[in-house]
Structures are given as structure tokens and as C-alpha cells.
Structure 1
Amino acid sequence: MINRRTAVALLASPLLLTGCGGGAAVTPRRTSAARPAPTPTATPSPEVSAQAAPRRIPGLGPKRTAAIPGRSRQAVVVTGRGRNSPRSTVVLYQRTDLGWEAGASWPAHNALRGWSDHHTAGDLRSPLGVYTLTDAGGLLPDPGTRLPYTRSGGFTSPGTGFEGEPLAGSFDYVVAINYNRRTGTSPLDWTRPRGAGRGGGIWFHVDHGGPTHGCVSIARAHMKDLLRTLDPDRHPVVVMGYADWLAG
């Protein structure tokens, strides 16, 4: 989470679908009472199975899966260790004709006090939900993202974190999470459609080694990978929350 002076951020390697082919037909034994030979049952090929049941995102229950827009072909899933935990993992999924394919799993931090289904300013919890990802920025030059990117000195992050770690460099790269913000604008835009009391300034940003105010933070190299992979033509979203909630 950021204030007016300081703004407070998965490459996919496909999972392989494997399956076994059907065995040879067995010749029936002759018995005293002749019986017709059984008709061999064909084992469906992996391709047929995939078409019948596209791969889903592991850990997401029906409610969270249904909340992902049908046009979204990229989903960043943030899975918290628990409702009150500041630690989580991040995986970027890409949707193909066969379903969702996962990238690497990256360690992450979320808010100090965990998660909330009614995030408010200063509660030190990250908002649960599914949010679009449309805008990026940072203190450093654009690393090669296809998202609109705002470079600004407003992304300076002075001071220290909750564990005494320096915050310098935390906002070198950020991706705005579209919770209580106006989409299509710089992450530094302070418009709050739900009102200031519902918080805002929720981003992906560079990890500083400790919990955040409400954002999700990952290592610098992973932030650059995320920025280079997100594609506005694939309508990326983030699905974020603790594991039990995601399974709902």
C-alpha cells in the first residue's frame, strides 16, 4: 500500500499431459458352451481426454474458477499460507485449448496480517479476490513489458519495513492490481472508486524481504519476468487469497 509521496509489486513452463495407450486384445478361451468374444474397449487418447476435461488451475474451487473472466488467458495465482500469514506463493498460468498450464512457483510476501474479504485502509491485510491487471510502472526504465508503463520518481520508496529491512528499490518495478482504482491509468493514480476508506494502491512489486502493507511482492528477477510475460491482449487477472479461500 502506498501514500501520496511513496507509491507501495511467472514465466510459464508447460505441464505435460501424459497417458497410457490401450493394450492388445485378448483371444477368448474355448469353453464347452460357446460364447461370443468380448468387444475390446478402446482407451481414449490423451488428446481426447484433454478435450473432454480441460486442465483446471490446481487449488481453485468452483467459485474462484468461475470468477475468472472467460476472455482471460493469463491468471496470476497468489496462494497465501493462511488467513493471517504474510507469506505466499505466486504462479502464472496460461490458458490454452487444453486448459491452464502453469509456470514456476515463486515465493512471495503479502500483507503483515494476512488477508481480508473487506479490505480497509490501514488494516494491514491484502484484499481477497480476482482483479484485472492492466497497468505497470516503476522507478526504473521499462524492462520490456507490453502493459502501459509509467516511469516516475513517484515510485521512490524510502524508510524501512516491518522487520527493519530497507524499502529502497521496492517500487523499481510494479504492476497495479485493479482493486479500488481506475483502470487504464498510472499505478500512481489515486482515484478510489469505492472511497478512500476502502484502501488502494495494491500492487505487485519488488520484494524487500518482509511483509507488505497490502501488496504482493516477489523477487526483482521474477518481477521483470512477470512484466515481460503479461500481455494485455490475453486479459490477465490475479486470483489472490489464502489457500482455504481459494479452494471455495
Structure 2
Amino acid sequence: MKRGAGTAVVAATVVLLAGCAGGAEAPRGTADHPVKKPARSTRAAPTREIPGVGPALRSRIPADAGQVVAVYGDSMRSAESTIVLYTREGDVWKRERSWPGHNGKRGWTTDHHEGDRKSPVGVFTLTDAGGVLADPGSRLPYHRSSAFAAPRWWPRSHWHDFDLVIAVDYNRVKGTSPLDPTRPEGQSKGGGIWLHMDHGSGTSACVSQSESAMEYLLRTLDPALHPIVVMGDRAHLAA
């Protein structure tokens, strides 16, 4: 690769990663790998509608979606959230597993812009994955690259954020690596929104959870079932 092209790739990668986890604020912990919290109880009867998701967002769920990752933000200004995986069986949705997680440091927004440190509310497809680590058995196309590594000038506890990632199809080109910097709606609309590994506090716009949760999703989300993510604070989800 020519030197100029290599420099461009590195620059694009830094811009992309900056749109995801961010490293300006110190985390709550100091360990590289925060203590993993166990998956929460999944004992719940199947339901015809996804709990907590009202008609506004429910109407945007594609008819062929067979898997939904629901991200329930505690409130519009909170960085705390709960991630739940639902699988459709016939006419009902079955709750598979749930995990604690985090979203944007400044909460949620229905009009996300680059640098606002808020996660976008909405319904988005999940088509591509990748990370620093070897493919753990992902059903989604997986792109392994050292370019996912977080900059070493970020706090040490953030260094493993992108060991495993799943791209949220917000302002990106489907079918490409999560590292693809293309922004179809323009750079100001932000991008690089991922599900990725947790560092114990809020992100710049992404949704984060434990390594074991990421591994489970990568091994479970099936392109044939057209997985999507429904994400937002509980009030907007219920609207």
C-alpha cells in the first residue's frame, strides 16, 4: 500500500472510532476487563408484542425480522441501559437473555449528530460484525483487523472496547466492514454506532455490554432471521 493511502486509512479509522466509544472521560473502573455481570433472568412468557415497545417504533420493525435486540435506556439523560434479546416463534416473541449495559454518556436523542455523545433512538438492522479478536463463531459476516484497536491515548480500561463489535446500521453502508467510514447521510449525522464491549461507563453513542454478552450475540444473531436492534430510552420506546 502506498504511504499516502495508508495515512488516509489510519485517519479514517481514528475518526470512525472517535464516533463510537470515545475516551475523554475516565471510566468508573480501572481494569482492562471490567467484572462481568451475569445475564439476568430470562424467565418470561412469550408475548405477541415486544415488551415496552409502543406503536411508533413497533411499526418500523420489518415484517421479516425474527430476532430483536432491544436496548432499554433507563431515561433520556441516563447512560445506563438493559439489553434484551428476543426471538420470534410464530406469532409471539420469546425473551432469550438480557444483560446490563451502557449507552451514550449524555443519554438518547431522536436527532443524533456527530459529537453529541447521545445514542440514536430508532430501529436499525444488524448486518455486519468484526473486531480485534479472532472470529468467535459469528453468524454475521465478521471482519477481523487490528485497525479496530482503540487508540492507546484513551484510558487503559477502554483499550478492549472494540475487541468484538456489531455494527448498527445507522448512517452506514450495509454489507461492509464496521470500519467503513462512508456516511450516506453526511458526516454531520454521525456514524460508527456499534454494539461493543463495555468499559463500565457511558459511550460516545454506542451501546456496550460484557464480553460474554457480545460473544453470545455474535454466535446467535442469524442473517437468515434478519436481526434488528430497537434502541432508546424507555419513554421513547413506549411511545
TM-score normalized by structure 1?
A: 0.79
2:88 to 95, 102, 107: 95
Asked if the contact 2:123–2:229 (Cα under 8 Å) also holds between the matched residues in 1, the reply is yes
**For residues 130 and 222 of structure 1, what CA distance do their matches in structure 2 show?**
20
Asked if the contact 1:12–1:102 (Cα under 8 Å) also holds between the matched residues in 2, the reply is no
**For residues 246 and 150 of structure 1, what CA distance do their matches in structure 2 show?**
31
2:98 to 91, 105, 108: 105
1:190 corresponding residue in structure 2: 181
2:167 to 166, 176, 179: 176
2:13 to 4, 22, 40: 4
The SS at the match of 1:4 is helix
Report the AA paired with residue 226 of structure 1.
L
1:145 corresponding residue in structure 2: 138
* CA RMSD across the alignment: 2.2
CA change 1:71–1:134 in 2 (3 A) is: same
TM-score normalized by structure 2?
A: 0.82
Structure with the greater alpha carbon radius of gyration: 1
1:129 corresponding residue in structure 2: 122
1:62 to 38, 41, 55: 55
1:21 corresponding residue in structure 2: none
**For residues 54 and 12 of structure 2, what CA distance do their matches in structure 1 show?**
35
The SS at the match of 1:89 is strand
1:222 to 194, 213, 216: 213
Structure 2 gap segments, 5+ residues each: 1-10, 22-38
Structure 1 gap segments, 5+ residues each: 18-53
Q: By percentage of residues, which structure has more helix?
A: 2
Asked if the contact 1:11–1:103 (Cα under 8 Å) also holds between the matched residues in 2, the reply is no
2:112 corresponding residue in structure 1: 119
Matched, 1:203 2:194: yes
1:168, CA displacement in angstroms? 1.1
CA change 1:15–1:98 in 2 (3 A) is: farther
Report the AA paired with residue 175 of structure 1.
I
CA change 1:11–1:84 in 2 (3 A) is: closer
1:30 corresponding residue in structure 2: none
The SS at the match of 1:60 is coil
Report the AA paired with residue 88 of structure 2.
R
**For residues 172 and 58 of structure 1, what CA distance do their matches in structure 2 show?**
31
189-198 or 151-160, which deviates more? 151-160
The SS at the match of 2:93 is strand
Q: How many percent of aligned residue pairs carry the same amino acid? A: 48
1:243 to 223, 234, 237: 234
Report the AA paired with residue 4 of structure 1.
T
Matched, 1:75 2:75: no
1:13, CA displacement in angstroms? 5.6
Residue deviations 1:151-192 (CA, integer Å, cap 9, x gap): 00111013476xx56211110100000000000000000000
**For residues 215 and 41 of structure 2, what CA distance do their matches in structure 1 show?**
14
What is the aligned length? Answer: 209
1:104, CA displacement in angstroms? 2.1
**For residues 210 and 246 of structure 1, what CA distance do their matches in structure 2 show?**
22
The SS at the match of 1:140 is coil
Asked if the contact 2:124–2:169 (Cα under 8 Å) also holds between the matched residues in 1, the reply is yes
Asked if the contact 1:133–1:178 (Cα under 8 Å) also holds between the matched residues in 2, the reply is yes
Report the AA paired with residue 87 of structure 1.
E
**For residues 147 and 197 of structure 1, what CA distance do their matches in structure 2 show?**
28
